[in-house]
Amino acid sequence: MQTITTTDALIEFCTRAAQHPYVTVDTEFLRERTYYSKLCLVQLAYPGEGDETAVLVDPLADGLSLEPLYALFRNEDVVKVFHAARQDLEIFYVDAGLIPTPLFDTQVAAMVCGFGEQAGYETLVKRIAKAQVDKSSRFTDWSRRPLSDAQKKYALADVTHLRKVYEYLARELAKSGRDKWVAEELAVLTSPETYITRPEDAWQRIKTRNNSGRYLAILRELASFREKYAQMRNVPRSRVYKDDALAELAATKPASVEDLGRSRLLLREARKGDIADGILKAVADGQAAAPEDQPEPDLSRDKMQVNPAIADLLRVLLKGVADREGVASKLIATASDLDAIAAGQRDLPALSGWRRDVFGAEALRLCDGKIALRVKGSTIETVAL
């Protein structure tokens, strides 16, 4: 189990990997105590047998540069294979401003190939590679050194078995012609927008029933300050103040440190110093926002007139289509998508691209009364009217 700790050794491995059509990649990281993930380990493997085909890279080693790895990530001749890639890609985008291309995500591919909703790595390894994955080291502290043999074995298994999983899924997609479906899904993962967090938009993640423009303006400023502070200090948002405290502050509008002291939900550390100053300024800025500068709540869901009968029929149709096509239903359309279609909305992912071909077009015909559904044995079929 080779562990790379020098830049020269990483160059040597990446040079060999670049001679192959793909490389499998995984990471181990910590995020419980930081805003940004702390990269602790990178696992890499290319096709073949032997110890030299799979390695661990220790990004915590003194003097090690990951630039040789990033050069491999930029190499358009080598497919970079991940499983459930989003968090891994975020790490590399934040660290180096790059997204590995071309990219293949076996979780997405497995959903297209009929392995169910968000197929887990263990399941795919068992069903495709006919192997077992020992997950006993899953929750260990990957920042501690030295790594144990059990940790190393666990980490390497995440890329060695992935080779067989990738090769199988790639063949299945090529045979079915659904590789273009996966490409559509990966467009989100390969977009930099997926990994950019803008403090001014952070308020939109806060769940609240108060639609007052003034309240939302204060909420926006408080969420923006928290995001900037957490990013600057590299601490979790919840360490600054939690969502429930944020909503309370927007409602109570504290104007002084004494007011902060009366908060029921604010952490003690947030009632003084830089955080307290930031809270009071955010509340004042929110209160001073002109009406035209106040956020407008998204009331589209509240105004949506969902026809429950049509929504129920769409759910039956979706189940039939998912079974027929061997595709995870959640990948085709979500429950909220079905409600939106039943309410008359048409600008939805479920009604475009490959989803329209397999489901969306039929869904619209069902809404327009042009087709009906019938049960034939254990399957759902459509009947033209």
| CATH of residue 164 | 3.30.420.10
pLDDT at 186 over 60: yes
pLDDT at 212 over 90: yes
Most confident of 133-137, 285-289, 293-297: 285-289
Q: What CA–CA distance (Å, rounded) separates 225 from 284?
A: 12
234 and 147, same structural domain? no
> b/e per residue, 276-289, with b = 16+ CB within 10 A?
bebbbebbebbeeb
Indicate the pLDDT class of residue 299, thresholds 50, 70 and 90: low
Asked if residue 84 belongs to a domain, the reply is: yes
| pLDDT at residue 137, rounded to an integer | 78
With pLDDT > 70 as the criterion, what percentage of the chain qualifies?
98
Asked if residue 124 belongs to a domain, the reply is: yes
pLDDT at 304 over 90: no
| pLDDT at residue 237, rounded to an integer | 96
Indicate the pLDDT class of residue 123, thresholds 50, 70 and 90: very high
| pLDDT at residue 303, rounded to an integer | 61
375 and 284, same structural domain? no
Asked if residue 36 belongs to a domain, the reply is: yes
The whole-chain average pLDDT of the chain stands at 94
Asked if residue 349 belongs to a domain, the reply is: yes
pLDDT at 302 over 60: no
Contacts (Cβ under 8 Å, ≥6 apart) of 153: 1, 134, 137
| pLDDT at residue 372, rounded to an integer | 95
182 and 221, same structural domain? no
Indicate the pLDDT class of residue 50, thresholds 50, 70 and 90: confident
Q: Which of 104, 100, 114, 36 is nearest to 69 (CA)?
A: 100
Asked if residue 300 belongs to a domain, the reply is: no
Indicate the pLDDT class of residue 136, thresholds 50, 70 and 90: confident
| pLDDT at residue 75, rounded to an integer | 98
Q: In this structure, how many other beta carbons lie within 10 angstroms of the beta carbon of residue 90?
A: 20
136 and 77, same structural domain? yes
Domain limit, last residue, from 162, 195, 228: 195
379 and 274, same structural domain? no
Indicate the pLDDT class of residue 235, thresholds 50, 70 and 90: very high
Indicate the pLDDT class of residue 246, thresholds 50, 70 and 90: very high
Residue with tokens 């080291």, as numbered in its chain: 137
231 and 174, same structural domain? no
* Structural domain of 377: 308-384
Q: Which of 375, 349, 376, 372 is nearest to 362 (CA)?
A: 372
329 and 288, same structural domain? no
Which whole number is the average pLDDT over 198-205? 95
216 and 124, same structural domain? no
161 and 14, same structural domain? yes
Indicate the pLDDT class of residue 49, thresholds 50, 70 and 90: confident
Domain limit, last residue, from 195, 226, 241: 195
Which whole number is the average pLDDT over 181-208? 94
144 and 169, same structural domain? yes
Task: List, in sequence order, every residue forming a beta bridge with 44; answer none if it has no partner.
Answer: 25, 55
With pLDDT > 90 as the criterion, what percentage of the chain qualifies?
89
pLDDT at 309 over 90: yes
pLDDT at 296 over 90: no
Asked if residue 162 belongs to a domain, the reply is: yes
Instruction: Report the domain count for the chain.
Output: 3
The tens digit of pLDDT for each residue in 101-121 reads: 999 999 999 999 999 886 799
pTM: 0.89
| pLDDT at residue 297, rounded to an integer | 78
Asked if residue 301 belongs to a domain, the reply is: no
The tens digit of pLDDT for each residue in 344-373 reads: 999 999 999 999 999 999 999 999 999 999
Residue with tokens 């096709």, as numbered in its chain: 47
The tens digit of pLDDT for each residue in 149-163 reads: 999 999 999 999 999
160 and 13, same structural domain? yes
Indicate the pLDDT class of residue 133, thresholds 50, 70 and 90: confident
pLDDT at 275 over 80: yes
Asked if residue 298 belongs to a domain, the reply is: no
Domain limit, last residue, from 293, 323, 358: 293
Spatial contact of 286 and 222, defined as CB atoms under 8 Å apart:
yes
